[in-house]
Chain A
């Protein structure tokens, strides 16, 4: 029996090594190969061509990214401070709203933008009576900022909750009013965090193609160009070149990020004490104003989507109806089931894989696991479309022939969220004391028994968290799978994207609401299950 178990252990290790190298590193290299090699030899002419002819795309992308980063980061800090100073009820409200944006498809913002500010938008057309072209860079910047804010806020409040409240008390004790505390203590202690969220936002903005595609108008970014190259011209080489260029700033950012993440404590965040600062001072008032403005904008977005889904216009007058839902049916039959199934599979497998990785890396300290860990982080930094194109290049030929199948989509989703699930897995393993592990061996168990009887059961909470995240990510993803999914195999987000591109905004809103509801349901179920387990979520 021991022999079998030892074999299983080796098998698991092999699976981890092979799958990660095959399904992350290999596709990644394929894109590079396609972009930098012509007829088998290294050739940067395509790269050069792109940089000389299409430099405007690059500058557009960078301009947008910088602006979105500044706005989103500054706002996140404001909301963080507002959260710190607010009472329990306000904090709860902020948490709920941020949660909502995290479980929404990424281009919900664009959709609401059109609904509100488009040619026939509620605000521009119906209220202000204008028929203007509001598409363009600033629309993109605003919508991206709104979309990225939730994750940034989460990171900021996480850091704030780890600040020892006695530090703030000491400052007050020594005479500091709220403005001084924010200026001298809170913001300096957030420096590292601010850098991190700025870097994250920058990368996400560069990679975002749905927002510019929907509301960019004539303003093209690298990401949209890559998308257009594939979809309109079928030019996978050009798409590869663009993605390689996009990768460079992403890599730089990632290096800086890694350096700084070591300095910040990213562990469990606790509760911030209440009444820690008084609600006074100019600085606080400004931050509060900014926070409330953005929160209202977010709420406005969802209100507009809600309205858009439940109303139709006739002769310029809107009325409530469920007709949009009926219209949507034609588009979505079977789609939600497919989305849910994909999400379930990728969520579960991703979670398990993450825990196993954590075990082999942290507890067994396997030799090449460091490298594997690095590779596993890669999907985090490369744009979604990069990953998608990589999969096409890697698996369309022999011996895989996976293009057009459900398998390639699920695999893509699974490995796309490995950075998150592996990090959760590593933390889960860190929390298991070596004494517990040694006891298994001491009593006669093998390594496989350690995994089966100790690591897996003790990581149940982490599995839940990984799963919930994986499910949500898959349900709301677009970028990496947009090229992998064939007609007849559509998933919910892609249908929504198509429908919006086709101008059927109301139907798009319906689908958005359904996606949100489904994702929310799963998250709530798992959250409740976690609570019943009486657990701290890390």
Chain B
């Protein structure tokens, strides 16, 4: 394992914010730490960056124990949620700031900086001040600045949270592409499940300071190990009475299916979402890409449901 974290524990004023978290990341892998607000994911990131004193735990990067090394000496770069750009320095100076501590002369640093800016599609913006850039551009500058020192580990703390939906999608794929190109070990923190799934090689799901599940995205979705995992990832239909669940896409319309009544239908643009009432009184939701058949409220339909037993799922997975 390129990065190894063992028993990471952090308390603030008697409250345990991160509890005994252990995981590993291979070189060149992109790990997403996913979880609701307050689950401890940002704390883990700060610990990796060196901005916290740990109560317990050990961090090893490329064979070196970096647990007590201060941030200025760690081969780790962090891109903060608010980017942390130096407002009084021009874009190029921001990007090459870290290079002067690596002993690189100004002229060479500027060359490297300009190349990096091209890579993040910011060619020509070298002389601007951060305040003159858009949110998306600022994010790219922060990314360029973090990458230019060739760190062993890149940490991204909710880098896309401040951007609008379309920009998020755009930058998401750019970040993934850059990460692949540089083959840099990356940890990406987010609370957005869809975002996590699109970029991650592996996902670490956290809740209330604990590591809930660590797996590839597909396994996380298909084999959740706890009810929390099930709830947090994707949408779920519960049948508490019969102790079973199914995902929205496990319900589909078919002439051989059981009879149900449509309680509500909503047009979501890309698909239709329906709320159905089964014959034994359970309410379930489903989605349909088939817009040629739109069912209205009160209509009687036939649908097949693939249920999974709750207990069975909890035993499965890792």
Contacts and interface: CB of A to CB of B under 8 A. Distances in A.
Contacts of A184: 86, 97
A52 interface: no
A308 to B, nearest CB: 45
B85 interface: yes
Given A173-B77, A173-B78, A167 B51 contact: no
B82 A175 contact: no
Interface residues of A, number: 19
A1 interface: no
A428 B233 CA distance: 46
Contacts of B142: 170
A189 B98 contact: no
Contact of A173 (B72, B82, B89): B72
B135 interface: no
Interface string B205-217: 0000000000000
A174 B82 contact: no
Contacts of B71: 169, 172-173
Contacts of A177: 72
A171 B97 contact: yes
A295 B146 CA distance: 40
Contacts of B72: 172-177
Given A169-B71, A170-B78, A176 B101 contact: yes
Interface string B145-156: 110010000000
Given A173-B72, A174-B77, A167 B101 contact: no
A189 B97 CA distance: 16
Interface in B95-127: 97-98, 100-102
Contacts of A167: 84-87
A164 interface: yes
A430 interface: no
Interface in A164-216: 164, 166-167, 169-177, 180, 184-185, 188-189, 191
Interface in A470-520: none
Interface string A372-389: 000000000000000000
Contact of B101 (A166, A169, A180, A189): A180
A271 to B, nearest CB: 15
Interface of A: 164, 166-167, 169-177, 180, 184-185, 188-189, 191, 278
18 contacts: A166-B81, A169-B51, A169-B78, A170-B80, A170-B84, A172-B71, A173-B50, A173-B98, A173-B146, A174-B72, A174-B98, A174-B101, A174-B149, A176-B97, A184-B86, A188-B88, A189-B87, A278-B70
Interface of B: 49-51, 70-73, 76-78, 80-89, 97-98, 100-102, 142, 145-146, 149
